């Protein structure tokens, strides 16, 4: 297979994240935090004033600025593209808005095969995202990676079917089980949208990508394997040719780590609920060893420096144990979920410094 690696991709040297992702020994423990860009930073709240969340994701200078803010402030080893799970839907023309304090709300919920057949597929460029990525790449140091981002189709499907955020995903699960043909039709329409959204980012020069399946932890392994895994696998396969590290993560997916690992990523994000060494055993049993990402409980950033030091040491030791046992090939430090909105920015900076210490 000839890999068509985009000419624009930066050749990173001494990037701790890419070193760890590729099984090399990084110079320091690489770290980035999910949701490091956003509400925890006063400079973010400042630049977002009067601009809706979704609009900001389509403004190249602004999305670049927001993406870069935490890199400047916290000295993390990667930027994560500021975006939202529903951005590719909006780009395809689907009516969606992000309601503050609530989340993505669709103009119309999708419930029938007829609704699904009308769902737009993203099949063209999103120049605003590509331009934003260009600005980010120009500003990042060579040691700092840019991680691209897409929501997995199950999570997108849940928003579309429920019409917005859901605590129980009952309409989504009901469709899976009682109208499986409609469900699979929907996943068939969402999968190319996610692939195209990732390819746009790859062409623009991201260095790694993360497929977020935020709500996968609400499924049994059985349902996950039947209704979700084939599509996440196809997405990860389609971008494999570009040879950039692929991360796969969902919240509260301890029971699904093996199944999610089978989707094909090089790196598995681990929720804080499962110790990394135990997570690595599950991943190793399913697919052989991979790089681990995680998994500090974001609530610990409210508990003060001493607690963070202790927790960071524990997590590093668990990762080391997994690597020593041959169950993992590396470790990228991260939280076990996103930065909580009220986290003091200073606590984030301090935590990054503690992680880098040794």
Q: Which residues are annotated as a binding site for substrate?
A: 35-39, 84, 159, 214, 337
Residue 52 is given by DSSP the state: -
Q: Give how far the C-alpha of residue 344 lies from the chain's centroid of Cα atoms, to the nearest Å.
A: 22
Can you tell me which of 75, 170, 237, 324 binds a second copy, judged by CB under 8 A? Answer: 170
Binders of a second copy among residues 210 to 239 (CB under 8 A) are 217-222
From the candidates 48, 111, 225, 278, which is the catalytic residue? Answer: 48
Binding segment (CB under 8 A) for a second copy, from list 27-35, 105-113, 235-243, 305-313: 305-313
Instruction: Give the whole-angstrom CA distance, residue 133 versus residue 135.
Output: 5
- The token pair at 256 is 């699904």
Per-position b or e across 258-292, b if 16+ CB within 10 A of its CB:
bbbbbbbbbbbbbbbbbbbbbbbbbbbeebebbbb
Q: According to the binding rule CB under 8 A, does residue 252 interact with a second copy?
A: yes
Catalytic site residue 84?
yes
Binding segment (CB under 8 A) for a second copy, from list 50-58, 112-120, 142-150, 248-256: 248-256
Residue 336 is given by DSSP the state: S
Q: Select from 166, 146, 147 the least CA-distant residue to 156.
A: 166
Can you tell me which of 240, 321, 340, 345 binds a second copy, judged by CB under 8 A? Answer: 340
Catalytic site residue 159?
yes
Nearer residue to a second copy within complex by CB, 10 or 39: 39
- The token pair at 36 is 């490091």
Binding segment (CB under 8 A) for a second copy, from list 145-153, 165-173, 206-214, 233-241: 165-173
Can you tell me which of 255, 309, 316, 321 binds a second copy, judged by CB under 8 A? Answer: 255
**Residues that contact a second copy, how many (by CB under 8 A):** 35
Residue 78 contacts residue 32 (beta carbons within 8 Å): yes
Q: How far is the CB of 176 from a second copy (least distance, A)?
A: 8
Binding segment (CB under 8 A) for a second copy, from list 110-118, 141-149, 175-183, 261-269: 175-183
- Phi first, then psi: give them for residue 76, nearest 5 degrees: -70, 160
Q: Select from 270, 240, 340, 332 the least CA-distant residue to 39.
A: 340
* Helical residues (DSSP H) of 239-344, grouped into ranges: 257-262, 276-287, 305-324
Going by their DSSP bridges, the two strands 267-269 and 328-335 should be labelled as: unpaired
Nearer residue to a second copy within complex by CB, 63 or 175: 175
**Binding residues vs a second copy (CB under 8 A):** 168-174, 176-178, 217-222, 252, 254-255, 272-275, 297-300, 302-304, 306-307, 311, 340, 342
- Indicate which residues carry an active-site annotation: 35, 39, 48, 84, 159
């Amino acid at each position: 297979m000839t890999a068509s690696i985009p000419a624009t991709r930066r050749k990173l040297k001494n990037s701790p994240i890419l070193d760890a992702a590729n099984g090399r020994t990084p110079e320091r423990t690489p770290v980035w935090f999910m949701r490091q860009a956003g509400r925890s930073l006063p400079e973010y709240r400042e630049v977002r004033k009067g601009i809706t969340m979704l609009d900001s994701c389509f403004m190249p200078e602004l999305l670049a600025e927001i993406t870069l803010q935490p890199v400047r402030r916290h000295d993390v080893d990667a930027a994560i593209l500021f975006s939202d799970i529903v951005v590719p839907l909006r780009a395809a023309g689907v009516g969606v808005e992000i309601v503050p304090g609530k989340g993505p709300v669709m103009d119309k919920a999708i419930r029938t095969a007829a609704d699904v057949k009308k769902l737009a597929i993203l099949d063209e460029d999103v120049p605003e995202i590509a331009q934003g990525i260009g600005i980010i790449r120009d500003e990042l140091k060579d040691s700092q990676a840019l991680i691209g981002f897409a929501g997995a189709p199950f999570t997108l499907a849940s928003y579309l079917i429920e019409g917005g955020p859901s605590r129980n995903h009952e309409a989504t699960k009901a469709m899976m089980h009682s109208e499986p043909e409609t469900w699979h039709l929907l996943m068939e329409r969402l999968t190319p949208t996610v692939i195209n959204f990732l390819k746009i980012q790859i062409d623009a020069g991201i260095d790694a990508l993360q497929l977020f399946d935020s709500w996968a932890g609400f499924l049994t392994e059985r349902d996950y394997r039947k209704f979700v895994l084939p599509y996440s696998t196809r997405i990860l396969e389609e971008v494999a040719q570009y040879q950039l590290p692929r991360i796969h993560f969902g919240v509260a997916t301890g029971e699904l780590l093996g199944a999610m690992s089978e989707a094909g990523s090089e790196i598995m994000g681990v929720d804080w609920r499962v110790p990394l060494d135990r997570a690595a055993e599950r991943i190793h049993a399913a697919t052989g060893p991979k790089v681990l990402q995680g998994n500090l409980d974001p609530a610990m950033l409210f508990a003060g420096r001493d607690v963070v030091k202790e927790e960071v040491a524990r997590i590093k030791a668990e990762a080391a144990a997994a690597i020593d046992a041959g169950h993992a090939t590396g470790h990228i430090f991260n939280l076990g979920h996103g930065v909580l909105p009220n986290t003091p920015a200073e606590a984030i900076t301090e935590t990054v410094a503690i992680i880098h210490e040794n």
